[in-house]
Amino acid sequence: MELILLIASAFVLGSIPFGVVLTKAKGIDLRKVGSGNIGATNVLRAAGKMPALMTLLGDLLKGTAAVALGKIFGVGTLYEGFLGLTAIAGHDFSLFLRFKGGKGVATSIGVLLIYMPKAGILTVIIWLATVFITRYSSLGAIVSFALLPVNVILLGYSGQKLAIAIMISALLILKHSGNIKRLVKGTERRIGERA
Protein backbone atom coordinates (compact mmCIF):
# COMPACT_ATOMS: atom_id res chain seq x y z
CA MET A 1 0.00 0.00 0.00
CA GLU A 2 2.83 2.40 0.86
CA LEU A 3 4.49 1.80 -2.52
CA ILE A 4 1.20 2.38 -4.37
CA LEU A 5 0.75 5.70 -2.56
CA LEU A 6 4.32 6.70 -3.40
CA ILE A 7 3.79 5.85 -7.07
CA ALA A 8 0.56 7.86 -7.14
CA SER A 9 2.31 10.77 -5.41
CA ALA A 10 5.18 10.68 -7.91
CA PHE A 11 2.75 10.76 -10.83
CA VAL A 12 0.79 13.69 -9.39
CA LEU A 13 4.03 15.52 -8.61
CA GLY A 14 5.30 14.97 -12.13
CA SER A 15 1.98 16.14 -13.55
CA ILE A 16 2.35 19.71 -12.20
CA PRO A 17 2.71 21.79 -15.42
CA PHE A 18 4.98 24.60 -14.22
CA GLY A 19 5.37 26.05 -17.72
CA VAL A 20 1.62 26.28 -18.26
CA VAL A 21 1.02 27.85 -14.84
CA LEU A 22 3.81 30.42 -15.17
CA THR A 23 2.87 31.53 -18.68
CA LYS A 24 -0.84 31.62 -17.86
CA ALA A 25 0.02 34.24 -15.21
CA LYS A 26 1.30 36.35 -18.14
CA GLY A 27 -1.83 35.77 -20.18
CA ILE A 28 -0.21 33.22 -22.50
CA ASP A 29 -1.63 29.80 -23.36
CA LEU A 30 1.64 27.90 -23.78
CA ARG A 31 0.01 25.02 -25.61
CA LYS A 32 -1.11 27.37 -28.41
CA VAL A 33 2.20 29.11 -29.11
CA GLY A 34 5.54 28.01 -30.55
CA SER A 35 5.95 24.25 -30.48
CA GLY A 36 2.98 23.85 -28.12
CA ASN A 37 5.28 22.05 -25.69
CA ILE A 38 5.00 22.82 -21.95
CA GLY A 39 8.74 22.77 -21.22
CA ALA A 40 11.31 25.49 -20.59
CA THR A 41 12.44 25.84 -24.22
CA ASN A 42 8.96 26.82 -25.41
CA VAL A 43 8.49 29.02 -22.33
CA LEU A 44 11.69 30.83 -23.33
CA ARG A 45 10.28 31.49 -26.80
CA ALA A 46 6.86 32.53 -25.51
CA ALA A 47 7.56 34.40 -22.27
CA GLY A 48 11.27 35.06 -21.84
CA LYS A 49 14.21 34.03 -19.70
CA MET A 50 12.89 34.27 -16.12
CA PRO A 51 9.70 32.19 -16.64
CA ALA A 52 11.82 29.69 -18.61
CA LEU A 53 14.34 29.42 -15.77
CA MET A 54 11.56 28.95 -13.20
CA THR A 55 9.96 26.29 -15.40
CA LEU A 56 13.29 24.49 -15.77
CA LEU A 57 13.87 24.45 -12.01
CA GLY A 58 10.32 23.34 -11.26
CA ASP A 59 10.47 20.51 -13.77
CA LEU A 60 13.91 19.41 -12.52
CA LEU A 61 12.77 19.34 -8.91
CA LYS A 62 9.74 17.18 -9.74
CA GLY A 63 12.06 14.36 -10.76
CA THR A 64 14.47 14.90 -7.89
CA ALA A 65 11.66 14.99 -5.32
CA ALA A 66 10.11 11.75 -6.60
CA VAL A 67 13.38 9.83 -6.17
CA ALA A 68 13.97 11.53 -2.81
CA LEU A 69 10.60 10.20 -1.61
CA GLY A 70 11.80 6.69 -2.42
CA LYS A 71 15.02 7.27 -0.50
CA ILE A 72 13.16 8.65 2.51
CA PHE A 73 10.83 5.65 2.64
CA GLY A 74 13.63 3.16 1.91
CA VAL A 75 12.00 1.45 -1.07
CA GLY A 76 15.32 0.32 -2.57
CA THR A 77 17.30 1.17 -5.69
CA LEU A 78 14.96 -0.25 -8.33
CA TYR A 79 11.82 1.36 -6.91
CA GLU A 80 13.57 4.70 -6.38
CA GLY A 81 14.25 4.67 -10.11
CA PHE A 82 10.72 3.58 -10.86
CA LEU A 83 9.36 6.51 -8.82
CA GLY A 84 11.55 8.83 -10.88
CA LEU A 85 10.29 7.23 -14.08
CA THR A 86 6.72 7.68 -12.83
CA ALA A 87 7.33 11.41 -12.27
CA ILE A 88 8.67 11.68 -15.82
CA ALA A 89 5.54 9.89 -17.08
CA GLY A 90 3.44 12.35 -15.06
CA HIS A 91 5.15 15.25 -16.84
CA ASP A 92 4.71 13.59 -20.24
CA PHE A 93 1.07 12.63 -19.63
CA SER A 94 -0.07 15.21 -17.11
CA LEU A 95 -3.08 14.48 -14.94
CA PHE A 96 -3.90 18.20 -15.11
CA LEU A 97 -3.69 18.48 -18.91
CA ARG A 98 -5.94 15.57 -19.89
CA PHE A 99 -2.95 13.23 -20.01
CA LYS A 100 -1.01 15.39 -22.46
CA GLY A 101 2.25 17.01 -21.49
CA GLY A 102 5.87 17.70 -22.33
CA LYS A 103 8.94 15.80 -23.45
CA GLY A 104 10.36 15.13 -20.00
CA VAL A 105 13.91 16.41 -20.49
CA ALA A 106 14.24 18.53 -17.34
CA THR A 107 12.33 16.05 -15.19
CA SER A 108 14.53 13.20 -16.47
CA ILE A 109 17.66 15.19 -15.63
CA GLY A 110 16.24 15.90 -12.17
CA VAL A 111 15.82 12.16 -11.67
CA LEU A 112 19.35 11.39 -12.87
CA LEU A 113 21.04 14.01 -10.72
CA ILE A 114 19.86 12.29 -7.52
CA TYR A 115 19.60 8.69 -8.76
CA MET A 116 22.82 8.48 -10.80
CA PRO A 117 24.66 11.79 -10.23
CA LYS A 118 27.69 11.08 -12.43
CA ALA A 119 25.49 9.93 -15.31
CA GLY A 120 23.24 12.94 -14.75
CA ILE A 121 26.13 15.41 -14.91
CA LEU A 122 27.55 13.71 -18.01
CA THR A 123 24.12 13.84 -19.66
CA VAL A 124 23.87 17.58 -18.94
CA ILE A 125 27.36 18.17 -20.36
CA ILE A 126 26.55 16.27 -23.57
CA TRP A 127 23.21 18.10 -23.86
CA LEU A 128 24.84 21.51 -23.39
CA ALA A 129 27.66 20.73 -25.85
CA THR A 130 25.22 19.55 -28.52
CA VAL A 131 22.97 22.58 -28.01
CA PHE A 132 25.94 24.97 -28.06
CA ILE A 133 27.13 23.53 -31.38
CA THR A 134 23.74 23.12 -33.10
CA ARG A 135 21.34 25.53 -31.25
CA TYR A 136 18.77 22.72 -31.22
CA SER A 137 17.48 21.89 -27.73
CA SER A 138 15.70 18.79 -29.02
CA LEU A 139 18.84 17.40 -30.66
CA GLY A 140 20.76 17.95 -27.43
CA ALA A 141 18.16 15.90 -25.56
CA ILE A 142 18.04 13.13 -28.17
CA VAL A 143 21.83 12.75 -28.36
CA SER A 144 22.48 12.94 -24.61
CA PHE A 145 19.75 10.47 -23.68
CA ALA A 146 20.57 8.09 -26.53
CA LEU A 147 24.04 7.89 -24.98
CA LEU A 148 22.73 7.57 -21.40
CA PRO A 149 22.65 3.72 -21.24
CA VAL A 150 26.20 3.58 -22.64
CA ASN A 151 27.38 6.11 -20.05
CA VAL A 152 25.67 4.17 -17.25
CA ILE A 153 27.58 1.04 -18.29
CA LEU A 154 30.89 2.90 -18.60
CA LEU A 155 30.42 4.51 -15.18
CA GLY A 156 29.86 1.10 -13.58
CA TYR A 157 26.31 1.51 -12.30
CA SER A 158 24.22 -1.55 -11.39
CA GLY A 159 22.03 -3.55 -13.74
CA GLN A 160 18.95 -2.17 -12.00
CA LYS A 161 20.03 1.39 -12.69
CA LEU A 162 20.87 0.46 -16.28
CA ALA A 163 17.32 -0.89 -16.71
CA ILE A 164 15.86 2.40 -15.42
CA ALA A 165 18.22 4.39 -17.67
CA ILE A 166 17.09 2.42 -20.74
CA MET A 167 13.43 3.08 -19.89
CA ILE A 168 14.07 6.81 -19.33
CA SER A 169 15.95 7.06 -22.63
CA ALA A 170 13.30 5.13 -24.56
CA LEU A 171 10.47 7.29 -23.21
CA LEU A 172 12.32 10.52 -23.93
CA ILE A 173 13.26 9.56 -27.49
CA LEU A 174 9.70 8.35 -28.14
CA LYS A 175 8.36 11.73 -26.98
CA HIS A 176 10.78 13.44 -29.39
CA SER A 177 9.58 11.54 -32.48
CA GLY A 178 8.01 14.70 -33.90
CA ASN A 179 11.23 16.64 -33.29
CA ILE A 180 13.24 13.95 -35.05
CA LYS A 181 10.99 14.27 -38.13
CA ARG A 182 11.35 18.09 -38.10
CA LEU A 183 15.13 17.84 -37.67
CA VAL A 184 15.31 15.57 -40.71
CA LYS A 185 13.12 17.99 -42.71
CA GLY A 186 15.05 21.05 -41.48
CA THR A 187 11.96 22.68 -39.96
CA GLU A 188 12.85 22.35 -36.26
CA ARG A 189 13.05 25.64 -34.33
CA ARG A 190 16.37 26.62 -32.83
CA ILE A 191 16.82 27.97 -29.30
CA GLY A 192 16.16 31.71 -29.14
CA GLU A 193 13.66 31.80 -31.98
CA ARG A 194 10.55 33.62 -30.80
CA ALA A 195 7.18 31.88 -30.88
For residue 194, pLDDT over 70 is answered with no
For residue 195, pLDDT over 70 is answered with no
Spatial separation of the C-alpha atoms in residues 134 and 102, rounded to whole Å: 22
Q: Would you state the torsion angle of the CA atoms of residues 176, 11, 113, 53, taken in this order, to the nearest 10 degrees?
A: 70
Q: Give the predicted TM-score (pTM) of the model.
A: 0.94
User: Residue ranges of the domains in the chain?
Assistant: 2-185
C-alpha distance across the termini of the chain, in Å: 45
Q: Which pLDDT belongs to residue 41?
A: 85
Neighbours of 1 (CB within 10 A): 5
Spatial separation of the C-alpha atoms in residues 112 and 117, rounded to whole Å: 6
For 86-95, the pLDDT digits (tens) are 999 999 999 9
For residue 193, pLDDT over 70 is answered with no
For 144-179, the pLDDT digits (tens) are 999 999 999 999 999 999 999 999 999 999 999 999
Buried b / exposed e along 11-40 (16+ C-beta atoms within 10 A): bbbbbbbbbbbbbeeeebebbebbbebbbb
For 102-150, the pLDDT digits (tens) are 999 999 999 999 999 999 999 999 999 999 999 998 999 999 999 999 9
